[in-house]
Amino acid sequence: MTSAEPEAVSASEDTEATCATCGAPVETDEWHPAASTKRGDGAVQILSFCDHSCRDRWQERAE
Ligand SMILES: [Zn+2]
């Protein structure tokens, strides 16, 4: 039997993200919870979360 070689995952470049709440790596090529927040200088920042619960936790903190 020929075993298929695992595809080499391209090194993460600008798609690397971490959960804004717990810091776990987030796979940005798959769907993931996200939220936008305004920073002090007015720039909009997109936050990524590994899970719904982490996004909820972030929202509770932000309020
Ligand atoms: Zn998380």
Domains along the sequence of the chain with CATH? 16-62 (2.30.170)
> Ligand 1 mean position to 46 CA, how many Å?
15
- Residue with token string 């993460």: 12
Q: Is the pLDDT at 11 greater than 80, yes or no?
A: no
Question: What share of the chain has pLDDT > 70, as a percent?
Answer: 76
> What are phi and psi for residue 8, nearest 5 degrees?
-70, 125
First CA to last CA distance, the chain: 57
CB-facing half-sphere around the CA of 27: CA atoms within 13 A: 5
pLDDT of 13 higher than 50: no
Smallest CA-to-CA distance from 28 within 54, 47, 5, 55 is with 47
CA separation for the pair 35, 46 (Å, rounded):
6
Please check the confidence at residue 14 and state whether its pLDDT lies above 80. Answer: no
- Expressed in angstroms and rounded, the spacing between residue 1 Cα and the centre of ligand 1 is 40
